[in-house]
Amino acid sequence: MKTNRFRAQWLATTALLATAALPADLQTAQSFERPVRRMVSGHYLLYLPETYGQGRRQRWPLVLFLHGAGERGSDLELVKKHGPPKLVAAGQQFPFILVSPQCPANQWWTPEVLSALLDEVVGKYAVDKNRIYVTGLSMGGFGTWALAAQQPDRLAAIAPICGGGDPRTAPRLKDLPVWAFHGAQDTTVPPAQSQALVDALRAAGGHVRFTLYDDAAHDAWTRTYADPKFFEWLLQQQRRPRHWYDWLLPGKKRPPSTERSGS
């Protein structure tokens, strides 16, 4: 019995000494977040209103249009295939500055590049910084949601068409006027993509309208951009400056607004 007890004590002592001999792990888990600056470039179509420049102090609304995947490349003529650039090419005039960039082939819209483009345009032209709008179709709809999620305080309103994004970004967008559009028969980008974001925005108390075209497939943009009421709504929106005390005010949930439209 004494032998067994001695052996147990010896083993315990040996284990303790072995543990004490191990070096202490002085590592601690950390994380970092730093801005990364890089040179970006691109090409875009620019439309200026007919009376632009006549008033020295006049500032103009700015609409940023993002095309779909089919118009990517290095030929700016492709950008005129759909949306506001197509309307301008056909002779329509608008009371705002229209900027229509082209996404390079095999790439996607990124908030970093689009933000740099806005910086460029705002710095060169007479832009009303409280009236900057973003709209886009398909891939451009995704780009619209993404840019708004990153810079919601910079924009006055967005109008994504047959797009989608991350519903988890809804709390960032709850103070930004949104009018989303989708075709109920869309099999390229299912309408559930827009619906998920609309539902998340409504849950967050956001200001969102949703038009679902019952008879439309992927092309939900032709009738949207052909409707003067769309541009009237867009230009009525103005960016509301944020104040330090906003967080003290209780959020107001707005009633759902889903509009179904046929042909």
CATH number of the domain that residue 117 is part of = 3.40.50.1820
34 in any annotated domain:
no
Helices in 25-169 by DSSP H: which ranges? Answer: 83-89, 111-124, 139-150
Domain interval for residue 175? 40-240+256-261
Q: What is the mean pLDDT of each run of 10 residues along the chain (263 residues)?
A: 60 58 66 68 92 90 98 96 97 96 96 95 96 98 98 97 97 97 98 98 95 97 97 95 54 55 57
Which among 53, 55, 91, 65 is positioned nearest to 231, based on CA atoms? 65
Q: What is the pLDDT at residue 5?
A: 64
Lookup result for tokens 């908030």: 111
pLDDT value, residue 85: 96
Let me know if residue 24 belongs to a domain. Answer: no
Cα(213)–Cα(262) distance, rounded to whole angstroms?
6
Looking at the domain assignment, is residue 246 inside a domain?
A: no
Amino acid 240: pLDDT: 76
pLDDT at 55: 81
Domain count, the chain: 1
Measured CA to CA, the distance from residue 203 to residue 224 in angstroms comes to 26
d(CA 142, CA 175): 19
* pLDDT recorded at residue 99: 97
In a domain, 178, yes or no: yes
Q: Does residue 106 lie within any of the structural domains?
A: yes
pLDDT at 40: 74
| pLDDT reported for residue 15 | 58
Residue 184 lies in a domain: yes
Q: What is the pLDDT of residue 263?
A: 47
**pLDDT at site 253:** 47
**222-251: string of b/e by CB count within 10 Å (b at 16+)?**
ebbbeeeebbeebbebebeeeeeeeeeeee
The token pair at 251 is: 């959020």
Taking the C-alpha atoms of 121, 122, 126 and 129 in order, what is their torsion angle to the nearest 10 degrees? 140
247 falls within a domain: no
pLDDT score, position 106: 95
Between strands 178-183 and 60-66, the pairing is unpaired
- 4 belongs to a structural domain: no
